[in-house]
Amino acid sequence: MVRWRRARSQNAEWLRPWEATAPIGHQPPLGFHAMVSALRREARSGRVLPFVVTYDGVLVGQLTIGGVQYGSLRGAHVGYWVGEEFAGRGIIPTAVALATDHAFTTLRLHRVEISMRPENGPSRRVTEKLGFRFEGERPAYLHIDGQWRDHLVFVLLAGEVSGGVLERWRRTQG
């Protein structure tokens, strides 16, 4: 708890342009315990898989596989953040690759999406590194930093990555 709070407070300004905000009223963001309770409840239902991201034993971010749907869709979306000090080190692409492989192999999902604001160059580079393809735009998709913001959507299908996302990305690094 202390490590998560410290990472979040140290990166508040870094994350502000990308963080969801409450569109109605002045609802404060969830505190740590409320967030963990909500994530546990959703995880028990099978709709969310929350992860912390660590690097050399330090909590540096968070990744969530959310909106998990089975049935005829078999899809989910991935959201993540990383502390400014750790950005650009390949930590998030590795975490996203591992999570996407887990979604495809263990959860047996067919489709994984990542959505981001058009201005979010670092997140766009994550999708490019991992081979997610641009699918389209979602106007006024999420309330971010006090306004409804457009998002770009990138998608990867299970059949597009035989051998796994992580393995494919590692091959491009060598």
Q: Distance (Å, rounded) from C-alpha 54 to C-alpha 135? A: 30
Q: What is the pLDDT of residues 89-100, one digit of tens each?
A: 999 999 999 999
- Domain ranges, residue 122: 2-173
**In this predicted model, what pLDDT tens digit does every residue of 31-77 receive, in sequence order?**
666 766 776 777 677 788 999 999 999 999 999 999 999 999 999 99
Host H or E run for residue 78: strand 75-82
What CATH number is attached to the domain comprising 57? 3.40.630.30
pTM of the model: 0.88
Overall domain count for the chain: 1
Give the Å distances, CA to CA, from 173 to 53, 91, 118, 165.
Answer: 21, 13, 26, 13
